[in-house]
A and B are shown apart, each in its own frame.
Chain A
Amino acid sequence: MPKAWVVVYSITDFITIGMLLTVVAMNSLKRMESCLRAYTINSLLLATLMAVSAFYLDAAHLYIAAAVTLASKGVVIPFLLRKVVRDLKITHEVEPNINTPLSLVITSVLVVIVYSSLSKGIFIEGFTENTLKVSISIILISLFTMITRKKAVTQVIGLLLMENGLFLAGFSLTYGMSTIIELGVVFDVLMGAIILGVFLSQIKKTFIDLDLDKLTTLKG
């Protein structure tokens, strides 16, 4: 194995594990500001991974994807969300449905399940070998975060993290799709974030709260 590839392996693993850690950290963070920061770091790591891959795979279109990811997920969406959080005056998450130590335990169990299950069935080779496992862990953990948290803003952040995980999974399987598709996906996410921001304001206006438990009153 050439030396360069060993480097690629370690860099890829380093970055993806960093992404996983930010998602795990989401479960213990209480301040909205910190949650947003975790998401920003996650997105920046994703963009970095794309750039590194572009460099080693020598694929020019991945640079574009990296740049777009950086711009949208690393800058625009965090900016929008921060604006919403400030406008709506939410600073802290209320007590989550499952307490922090237990959610961290469940998170680790999820990672173990993903690692033990994926080694049997879906299997890929190459430098993204671990990336798929990490990305699916990220998806499940973000979903879990959405379950434990009560505030709508945290839900949105969980959803965005999940999207990052999906993006990572797609990347690990295809080494980056064609530029136009990635542009489309990013545009979708951007639109989604804007629409969700509007929704948050509306929910706040209607229910005077962003606690999603209140939504049960909508049930007939």
Chain B
Amino acid sequence: METDRPETASSRITGKLSSACYLLYAAGCLFPGLLSLRDLLFGYSWYVSLPLSGVLTLSFRGGGLSAYFVIILSLLGFCVSVYSAGYTRHSDSPWSALLLYGIFVSSMYAVFYSANIPAFLISWETMSLSSYFLVVSDTENIEASRAGLLYGVMTHIGTAFIIAAFMVMFFATGSLEFAGIRAGLGSAGNLRSVIFVLALIGFGTKAGVIPLHTWLPKAHPAAPSNVSALMSGVMIKSGIYGIILVTFDILGVGAGQPVAGPPSATLWWGVAALSAGAISAVMGIMHALMERDIKRLLAYSSVENVGIILLGIGASMIFYSNNLPAFAGLALAAALYHVFNHAIFKGLLFMGAGSAVHATGTKNMEEMGGLIKRMPWTGLFFLIGAIAICALPPFNGFMSEWLTFQSLIMGIKTSVVFTKTFMLLAGAALALTGALAASSFVKAFGISFLGVSRSAKAAGAEESSFSMLAGMGILSVFCLLAGIFPGYMLKLISGVSLPAPGGLLQFAPNGFAVSGISSSGVLPTALLGTMLAGAALVFIFPFIAGGRRKSICADPWDCGVRRLTPRMQYTATAFTHPLRRIFKKIYKPRKEVRIDYIVKPFFTREIEYRSEITPLAEVYFYRPLTNALHDIANWARRLQSGNLQLYLGYILGTLVVLLVVWG
């Protein structure tokens, strides 16, 4: 005991110091955030060029698109830093994580501020590497290091594509500045398409678009929860930022379109983005539905939300190529709105999940249960996040998904039958996504926070510290504010000036008229009325229908058994079983029942039941790919036979070929 005392004292000081550092980070996040808010609202923009040496110049810019993403990062960065102050207090050696966290956040700022290729790539790589080290920071967890490896490989494949896209731009224009490339690229059709495809793959990997998402559901759960909140909230949005930057800002989708005429050649860009979005949205949420690990569920849900954002972006491109700039503006606004919304509610949910995991020591929802009684505030905030992500009013998720819906339905105004049908189908996919999302978050909240505690640890869970609750609380308030004041949000988004026909992109008033929101309005009045009436009905109905009644206190749902055990509760697997059967064709569930008998077939000692779903992307995309690579590698191994004469033969062959070709 004597020897323990100085250690606890020093560890308490360590905890206090690291908490103080996180609070400093939080304060640091405020400055760029407020600056960008000013830039966006008053239409300021700035540009700084830092010549490092004769060949390397880093330049940065502010305002417009950059400012919008910086605001998102600052808001989330502030709240997550406050949360981290409490979350990491009991960590033994918080310093490396603290440093990496700082580098990670700063590099994300640098990505959003970059105005030329070197600055962008350097900060992009810093962001990828620092997040990689944060993912593998739990060095004793073999699962985490494997997830980290996968993440590292995937993110570098993506970076390779991004570098390729930028190299094509540089060799085509000779300029490293984004502004110079935009001016120099002109309307070279095929070249622009090549850049678009490279950028979509490269940034799509970071954003987690299916089938490039495999790293995401593994890396997010492995990282500490404060980091997953930032990774899912902002880092994967840097992929979205990249796609918007390249397609709208640099390639100038929409700029220089003819005023009237047939759809332009870039129509298929929009179709590609829309398909990727629809597939990611539906498949992402379907996988989320089947997850028992709460953080993996959230990670898959991030895939889904990136899909929804891409739906908006794709719709915008299709509208531009059909010369419908008003609808295009609406669709892009919906996408940007959803970027903001997803950042804050997913950050909130990851922090809530982090608190739950912290308190119970498990990520498996089947071992939580009843947490809302032990952790009422965390429960409330998680519930707010869940409602928001299910796109239920009055929270923010509703507004952006609704705008996305509106813009997809407006696809009927496009001039080709194919795009008409396609966009309506994408709308149907979004509807399905919404329903499944609601189902998965009913599961996530219901199984882990409601009911009876499913394990001893869950029964002993304790409420999180004040700073953790504060971080979540602020985001919850913003979820509500962004939901009931969409007009202000759209005003903010209209500050994102992108090149478009007739100067800068304007979110035209008739675009808003389509969506039924006036630029200063709150929720559509009719909708709000219906909601309030519905809520009132729920309370009034029992009185109308039931009359006077005697109330009896009893355990709910015990059906007279009296002694409810946790094993009697609805489980996560059981909850999603109907859906697993409905979508049998897609999930391809595998069941395995193993029975251990004492006397066959009457007395059983043990029954083991295992069911899992087939991960489609892994089985049908990556496995054939890796198998092919293995085959090629095995074939190439024959070159290395170890035979000296054969090696000499290679030399002779090479010499003769060189002689014949260049001799």
Contact = CB atoms under 8 A, between A and B. Distances in A.
A113 B645 contact: no
Contacts of A150: 645
A155 B644 CA distance: 10
Nearest to B647: A147
B188 interface: no
A216 B642 CA distance: 5
A136 B645 CA distance: 20
B53 interface: no
A118 interface: yes
24 contacts: A97-B645, A113-B659, A113-B660, A117-B659, A118-B659, A118-B663, A120-B663, A121-B662, A121-B663, A122-B663, A136-B659, A143-B648, A144-B652, A146-B645, A147-B645, A147-B648, A147-B652, A148-B645, A216-B641, A216-B643, A218-B642, A219-B640, A219-B641, A219-B642
Given A144-B652, A147-B649, A212-B645, 10 more contacts: A113-B659, A114-B663, A117-B660, A118-B663, A122-B663, A136-B659, A140-B655, A140-B656, A218-B642, A219-B640
Contacts of A110: 656
Nearest to B646: A147
B146 to A, nearest CB: 26
A181 to B, nearest CB: 24
Contacts of B645: 97, 146-148, 150, 212
Task: Decide if the interface of chain A is mainly helix, strand, loop or mixed.
Answer: helix
Contacts of A118: 659, 663
Contact of B651 (A136, A143, A213): A143
Interface string B522-541: 00000000000000000000
Contacts of B651: 143
Contacts of B640: 219
Interface of B: 640-645, 648-649, 651-652, 655-656, 659-660, 662-663
A102 interface: no
Interface string A109-151: 0100110011011100000000000001000100110111010
A146 B659 contact: no
Given A147-B649, A147-B652, A114 B659 contact: yes
Contacts of B642: 215-216, 218-219
Nearest to B651: A143
B418 to A, nearest CB: 56
Contact of B655 (A143, A148, A155, A218): A143
B661 to A, nearest CB: 9
Contacts, number: 47
Interface of A: 97, 110, 113-114, 117-118, 120-122, 136, 140, 143-144, 146-148, 150, 155, 212-213, 215-216, 218-219
A97 B642 CA distance: 16
Contacts of B643: 213, 215-216
7 closest Cβ pairs, A-B complex = A219-B642, A117-B663, A216-B642, A121-B663, A147-B648, A117-B659, A147-B645
B613 to A, nearest CB: 41
Contacts of B663: 114, 117-118, 120-122
Nearest to A141: B652
Contacts of B652: 140, 143-144, 147
Nearest to A143: B652
A146 B660 contact: no
Contacts of A219: 640-642
Nearest to B642: A219
A218 B644 CA distance: 11
B644 A212 contact: yes
A136 B663 CA distance: 11
A65 to B, nearest CB: 27
Nearest to A120: B663
A145 to B, nearest CB: 10
A196 B649 CA distance: 21
The listed residue with most A CB atoms (<10 A of its CB), out of B640, B659, B662, is B659
Contacts of B649: 147
B648 A146 contact: yes
Contacts of A155: 644
Contacts of B648: 143, 146-147
A114 B659 CA distance: 7
Nearest to B659: A117
A61 B659 CA distance: 32
A212 B642 CA distance: 11
A216 B662 CA distance: 34
A216 B659 CA distance: 30
A114 B655 CA distance: 11
B399 to A, nearest CB: 63
A214 to B, nearest CB: 10
Contacts of B655: 140, 143
A39 to B, nearest CB: 18
A216 B644 CA distance: 8
Contacts of B641: 216, 219
B6 to A, nearest CB: 53
A216 B649 CA distance: 15
A215 B660 contact: no
Contacts of B659: 113-114, 117-118, 136
Contact of A113 (B644, B656, B662): B656
Contacts of A147: 645, 648-649, 652
A92 B468 CA distance: 86
A143 B652 CA distance: 7
Nearest to A106: B652
Nearest to B661: A117
Contacts of A120: 663
